[in-house]
């Protein structure tokens, strides 16, 4: 008695303000990052071992009296160098392989509201320890570019990079926000481009407010000629009518 | 077991029908009820109900605007949904939490998927709190009718100190 009793809640769905329809990076993006991380570790190992072999042969060749031949040095020290390099690589590789999937799982993007309309901002959420939710307003976007590197193309994903005027300084390099690891990245880019083209005024650098506008009449090739021809016809008719009145 | 005991339930129901504590006691003389006992039972019921209403308001993270415990209603405000919320205690359905709204994601009755549920909730309140609607209010869609019902419930006269007919 006196505890929480059963009941009924009549609550309409609340429209989300911060984000709309959420989409996340593809699973292929996670796989790509894992393969890329392993590839970096392998590259480090190859570089270290190659420089060791080159150095051993170089010293054996340049000063044969002081140093034993390269083949002997490599034979004696290969395993030790290799194991040390692998051991040091594993120190960062294992945490990286654990952290990457968690980080990618935390990423959320949103450009469309639940209602299907475009959001006023592009929403990006990411982070493990410090979770950031960033809203980049469409009106502040100066340019966007999409790209797919070698690994991206191997895994069938791509990125859309969004730039604003605030990030054009010498210290702030790179885009304002990156939508990474998206399979349909070209469609996302086209959608953002279409929205950007609705802004007629130049991009915003301060606090000025601009709003997107839709064309009242669609621009069709030859429409201006049509309008001109119709106006000429009206002019001719008016001229004819005034002539008839004077006669 | 529900929130209220048998005696509390009976007293609460009769009280909401507009009967004063002395009238309820008179009607139950066979069970040796007297006005002070009925008053004590009513107070117990009222305290239980008001605590439940506050618990629900807290669990829904509402800012409590007013608690009318004799009428079994709490009015709160939900800042996230940016709307007023009515929490009403009913014997039949338990606690009803009603978020004031104009439509359900743009849908009005009868297209709204919650129509049956809303009707059931409002009917329970109308029956248990003895609320009478005018014909024009009955014809309103439930989003507007609910406001009329809750307004009537909050404006309802509490029969606690009501004089009995012929006491003038």
Domain boundaries, chain A: 26-105, 108-196
Tell me, yes or no, whether B1 lies in a domain. no
**Residues with Cβ within 8 Å of residue A198, at least 6 apart in sequence:** A212, A213, A214
Q: How much of chain B exceeds pLDDT 70, in percent?
A: 94
Q: Establish if B23 touches chain A: CB-CB under 8 angstroms.
A: no
Contacts of B107 in chain A (CB under 8 A): none
Give the mean model confidence (pLDDT) for residues B123-133.
93
pLDDT at residue A2 in the model: 45
pLDDT tens digit string along B25-66? 999 888 888 989 999 999 999 999 999 999 999 999 999 999
Number of domains present in the structure of chain B: 1
pLDDT at residue A1 in the model: 43
Contacts of B55 in chain A (CB under 8 A): 4
**Residues with Cβ within 8 Å of residue A167, at least 6 apart in sequence:** A173, A174, A175, A176
Q: Establish if B144 touches chain A: CB-CB under 8 angstroms.
A: no
Tell me, yes or no, whether B104 lies in a domain. yes
Helices (H) and strands (E) in chain B, counts: 6, 4
Contact between chains at B3 and A6 (C-beta distance less than 8 A): no
What's the average pLDDT block by block, 10 residues per block, for chain A (247 residues)? 67 79 92 95 94 88 79 85 92 95 94 81 93 90 90 94 73 81 92 83 63 62 78 92 86
Tell me, yes or no, whether B163 lies in a domain. no
Contact between chains at B99 and A5 (C-beta distance less than 8 A): no
> Pick the residue with more confidence: A29 or B157?
A29
Contact between chains at B118 and A10 (C-beta distance less than 8 A): yes
Residue of B nearest to A6 (CA): B94
Contacts of A113 in chain B (CB under 8 A): none
Minimal C-alpha gap between A128 and chain B (Å): 26
Contact between chains at A7 and B104 (C-beta distance less than 8 A): no
Distance (Å, rounded) from C-alpha A106 to C-alpha A131? 8
Q: Establish if B55 touches chain A: CB-CB under 8 angstroms.
A: yes
Contacts of B56 in chain A (CB under 8 A): 4, 7
Q: Establish if A13 touches chain B: CB-CB under 8 angstroms.
A: yes
pLDDT at residue A170 in the model: 56
Domain that holds residue B37: 6-157
Q: Does B1 score more than 70 pLDDT? A: no
Q: State the average pLDDT for chain B.
A: 89
Q: Establish if B49 touches chain A: CB-CB under 8 angstroms.
A: no
Question: What are the Cα distances from residue B76, in Å, to A40, A180, B98?
Answer: 58, 43, 10
Tell me, yes or no, whether B168 lies in a domain. no
Tell me, yes or no, whether B45 lies in a domain. yes
Smallest Cβ–Cβ distance between B52 and the set A5, A9, A12 belongs to A5
pLDDT at residue B75 in the model: 95
């Amino acid at each position: 008695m006196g505890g929480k009793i059963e009941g009924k809640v009549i609550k309409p769905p609340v429209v989300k303000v911060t984000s709309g329809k959420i989409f996340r990076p593809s699973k292929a993006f996670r796989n790509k990052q894992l393969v890329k991380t392993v590839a970096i570790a392998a590259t480090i190992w190859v570089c270290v071992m190659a420089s060791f072999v080159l150095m051993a042969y170089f010293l054996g060749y340049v000063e044969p009296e002081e140093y034993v031949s390269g083949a002997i040095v490599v034979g004696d020290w290969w395993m030790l160098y290799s194991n040390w390099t692998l051991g040091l690589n594993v120190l960062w590789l294992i945490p990286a392989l654990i952290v990457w999937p968690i980080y990618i799982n935390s990423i959320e993007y949103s450009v469309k509201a639940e209602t299907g309309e475009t959001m006023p901002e592009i929403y990006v959420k990411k982070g493990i320890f410090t979770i950031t939710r960033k809203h980049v307003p469409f009106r502040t976007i100066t340019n966007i570019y999409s790209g797919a590197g070698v690994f991206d193309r191997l895994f069938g994903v791509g990125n859309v990079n969004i730039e604003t005027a605030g990030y054009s300084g010498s210290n702030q390099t790179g885009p304002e926000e990156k939508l990474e690891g998206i399979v349909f990245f070209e469609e996302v880019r086209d959608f953002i481009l279409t929205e950007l083209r609705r802004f007629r005024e130049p991009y915003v650098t301060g606090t000025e407010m601009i709003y997107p506008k839709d064309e009242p009449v669609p621009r069709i090739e030859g429409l201006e000629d049509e309008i001109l021809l119709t106006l000429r016809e009206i002019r001719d008719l008016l001229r004819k009518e005034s002539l008839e009145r004077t006669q | 077991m529900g929130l209220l005991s048998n005696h509390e339930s009976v007293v609460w129901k009769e009280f909401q029908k507009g009967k004063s504590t002395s009238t309820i006691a008179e009607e139950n003389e066979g069970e040796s009820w007297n006005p002070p006992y009925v008053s004590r039972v009513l107070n117990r019921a009222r305290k239980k109900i008001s605590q439940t209403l506050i618990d629900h308001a807290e669990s829904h993270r509402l800012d409590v605007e007013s608690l009318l415990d004799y009428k079994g209603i709490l009015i709160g405000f939900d800042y996230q949904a940016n709307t007023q919320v009515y929490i009403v205690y009913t014997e039949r359905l338990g606690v009803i939490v009603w978020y004031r709204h104009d439509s359900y994601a743009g849908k009005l009755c009868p297209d709204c998927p919650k129509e049956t549920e809303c009707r059931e909730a409002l009917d329970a309140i109308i029956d248990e709190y003895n609320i009478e609607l005018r014909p024009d209010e009955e014809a309103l869609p439930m989003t507007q009718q609910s406001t009329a019902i809750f307004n009537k419930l909050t404006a309802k006269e509490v029969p606690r100190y009501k004089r009995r007919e012929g006491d003038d």
